[in-house]
């Protein structure tokens, strides 16, 4: 696991990185129910790798708006037939999309290199220790219960990140193992999401990589009037805008198209 973790961390800052999405859930907003068997999940993971994804992010609980939370037993039951074999078969690092420490510990034990926590180490009090003890890297995503259109969203995000980073430091997670995610689509209005994307560079003073996950989200669908699987162009536009403002990791459904787009973007940005 550690060599794959270091493989991924070593690429951070070198170029734009693509995190391919693999949901093994029945109810995710874009691809729920498609990849619940080992064979289907493995085929999709291999497809994402062939398309150029740098890391595969596997999730066993939907976090879409209005989702029904599932207990850790269900999450583990969805992962057990799939994750161990996937970790062995895929040469690229794998991240686990979970906010539960028990799920993170299991995933790390079978070879997962990164924990992608949509509650930034703050939902489960044992999560920071699970990450630290397992030696995994971690994505700390901003989230909040409910939406407040009058919120100073940037100030709220900094307070959230400061608390999460304090938890990480207390647990002994190395700074170099941490990635921040602004949580586009989580606990924010449409205008706040757009504002945060426009001001991503205000978080660069943390000296940590920024990950953006906006692929196919309803925010984009509302803007361009497209169905879920027809939001590629809108997703590319949003991710390129985020890259121009300092984001360096992009969680996407369509790996090949993003790999091509970022090759051009990175070449221009570094010319």
| pLDDT confidence of residue 29 | 45
Domain around 132: 2-269
Q: Which residue would you say has higher pLDDT here, 74 or 31?
A: 74
For residue 260, pLDDT over 90 is answered with yes
Residue in 86, 80, 168, 83 with CA at minimum distance from that of residue 120 = 168
Mean pLDDT calculated for residue range 245-255 = 97
Phi-psi domain of 216 (left: phi exceeds 0; alpha: psi -120 through 50; beta: other): left
Residue in 105, 97, 95, 108 with CA at minimum distance from that of residue 64 = 97
What's the whole-number average pLDDT of the chain?
93
| pLDDT confidence of residue 35 | 65
- Helix spans in 135-189 (H): 153-171
Burial class (CB in 10 A: 0-12, 13-18, 19+), 162: exposed
For residue 31, pLDDT over 60 is answered with no
Q: Under a CB-based contact definition with an 8 Å cutoff, are residues 104 and 123 in contact?
A: no
Distance CA 213, CA 252 (A): 7
Element (H, E) at 97: strand 94-97
Q: What is the 8-class DSSP label of residue 61? A: S
Q: How far is CA 237 from CA 2, 202, 233, 258, in A?
A: 34, 20, 6, 10
Residue 228 pLDDT grade (very low, low, confident, very high; cuts 50, 70, 90) = confident
Question: How confident is the model over 122-138, as pLDDT tens digits?
Answer: 999 999 999 999 999 99
Token pair belonging to 41: 């999940």
Q: State the residue for tokens 């997703």.
A: 235
Element (H, E) at 57: strand 55-59
Residue in 95, 96, 58, 61 with CA at minimum distance from that of residue 75 = 61
Residue 64 pLDDT grade (very low, low, confident, very high; cuts 50, 70, 90) = low
Split into its structural domains, the chain has a count of 1
- Helix spans in the chain (H): 2-11, 38-50, 72-79, 83-89, 101-109, 127-134, 153-171, 190-198, 218-224, 232-244, 255-269
Distance CA 34, CA 62 (A): 13
Domain harbouring 190, CATH code: 3.20.20.20
Catalytic residues: 217, 251
Residue 191 pLDDT grade (very low, low, confident, very high; cuts 50, 70, 90) = very high
Question: How confident is the model over 134-165, as pLDDT tens digits?
Answer: 999 999 999 999 999 999 999 999 999 999 99
Distance CA 14, CA 167 (A): 28
Nearest-Å Rg of the Cα atoms of the chain is 17
Q: Look at the pTM and tell me if it is higher than 0.85.
A: yes
């Amino acid at each position: 696991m550690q060599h794959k973790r270091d493989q991924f961390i070593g690429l951070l800052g070198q170029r734009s990185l693509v995190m391919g999405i693999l949901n093994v859930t029945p109810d995710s907003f874009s691809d729920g129910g498609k990849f619940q068997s080992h064979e289907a999940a493995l085929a999709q993971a291999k497809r994402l790798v062939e398309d150029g994804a740098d890391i595969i992010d596997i999730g066993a609980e939907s976090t879409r708006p209005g989702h029904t939370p599932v207990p850790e037993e269900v999450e583990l039951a969805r992962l057990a037939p799939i994750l161990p074999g996937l970790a062995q078969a895929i040469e690229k690092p794998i991240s686990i999309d979970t906010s539960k420490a028990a799920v993170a510990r299991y995933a790390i034990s079978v070879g997962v290199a990164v924990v992608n926590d949509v509650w930034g180490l703050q939902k489960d009090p044992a999560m920071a220790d699970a990450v630290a003890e397992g030696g995994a890297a971690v994505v700390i995503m901003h989230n909040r219960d409910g939406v407040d259109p009058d919120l100073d969203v940037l100030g709220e995000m900094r307070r959230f990140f400061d608390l999460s980073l304090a938890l990480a430091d207390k647990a002994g997670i190395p700074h170099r193992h941490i990635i921040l995610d602004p949580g586009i689509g989580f606990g924010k209005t449409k205008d706040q999401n757009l504002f945060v994307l426009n001001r991503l560079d205000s978080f660069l003073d943390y000296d940590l990589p920024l990950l953006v996950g906006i692929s196919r989200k309803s925010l984009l669908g509302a803007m361009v009037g497209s169905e879920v699987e027809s939001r590629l162009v809108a997703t590319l536009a949003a991710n390129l805008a985020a890259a121009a403002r300092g984001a360096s990791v992009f969680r996407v459904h369509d790996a090949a198209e993003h790999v091509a787009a970022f090759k051009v973007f990175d070449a221009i940005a570094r010319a």
